[in-house]
Chains A and B, each alone.
Chain A
Amino acid sequence: AQTVTQSQPEMSVQEAETVTLSCTYDTSESDYYLFWYKQPPSRQMILVIRQEAYKQQNATENRFSVNFQKAAKSFSLKISDSQLGDAAMYFCAYRRDSGGGADGLTFGKGTHLIIQP
């Protein structure tokens, strides 16, 4: 079974600075997807960024980028120019690419990101 590990329960960063959130995962599959989700106090999970395992190029979405190291099974999220609105729980998630049908997501325990004004 696949597992996702987020070793940082909480991170704090000054507004406008850069922060990196760590994620490692374990799988025997070669085809899969990785995601970072943001969960503010409203509880609604919001997709931040997505990476297909077959793509070597790291995904970027505006101020958000990932460092995907497939051999090391590492998938970190970098947030540049941190803003107060970035404060939330961040979850790393994995989904197997089963071909015949889509699977549910496997989530890590999350990292609580605090933005200091």
Chain B
Amino acid sequence: GAGVSQTPSNKVTEKGKYVELRCDPISGHTALYWYRQSLGQGPEFLIYFQGTGAADDSGLPNDRFFAVRPEGSVSTLKIQRTERGDSAVYLCASSRDGYNEQFFGPGTRLTVL
């Protein structure tokens, strides 16, 4: 019954390391979105899942970023060889079917030192 949850809430890592960010959508929501929000900016779309498949990954900035949703529920955003420019809040949202309201999680603040 809870909303969208994201873990961890904060993540500090060193340049070059690998990180995974997790999103638990609202139960029964088939659509899931990832956004990145840099300081002082609005969120930027990264990727959209409908079920298990990535319906649109046009927002992923480069091949260091990858996301999965193997069972059509929980999603993991994976960032390889992190760079300081990857520091941002990563927001996840889910929607009942992609056409209705997107409900957002509280985000994960990633800091790359």
Interface membership of A45, Cβ < 8 A = yes
Interface membership of A84, Cβ < 8 A = no
Which of B42, B59, B89, B105 has a CB less than 8 Å from the CB of A104? B59
* Pair B43/A103 contact, Cβ less than 8 Å: no
* Pair A91/B43 contact, Cβ less than 8 Å: yes
A89 to chain B, nearest CB (A): 9
Which A residues between 84 and 117 are near B, CB-CB below 8 angstroms? 91, 93, 101-110
Interface membership of A30, Cβ < 8 A = no
* Pair A102/B104 contact, Cβ less than 8 Å: no
* Pair A109/B106 contact, Cβ less than 8 Å: no
A30 to chain B, nearest CB (A): 17
Given A44-B104, A50-B101, A101 contacting B55 (CB threshold 8 A) = yes
Bound form: Cα–Cα A107–B43 in Å: 6
* Pair A103/B42 contact, Cβ less than 8 Å: no
Which B residues between 40 and 58 are near A, CB-CB below 8 angstroms? 40-48, 50, 55-56
Interface string of B78-90 (1 = CB under 8 A from A): 0000000000010
Given contacts A44-B107, A104-B45, 8 further A-B contacts (CB under 8 A): A42-B106, A102-B97, A103-B45, A103-B48, A104-B46, A105-B45, A107-B43, A107-B44
- Hey, which bits of chain B sit against chain A, CB under 8 A? 31, 33, 35, 40-48, 50, 55-56, 59, 89, 91, 93, 95, 97-99, 101-102, 104-107, 109
- Hey, which bits of chain A sit against chain B, CB under 8 A? 4, 37, 42-47, 50, 91, 93, 101-110
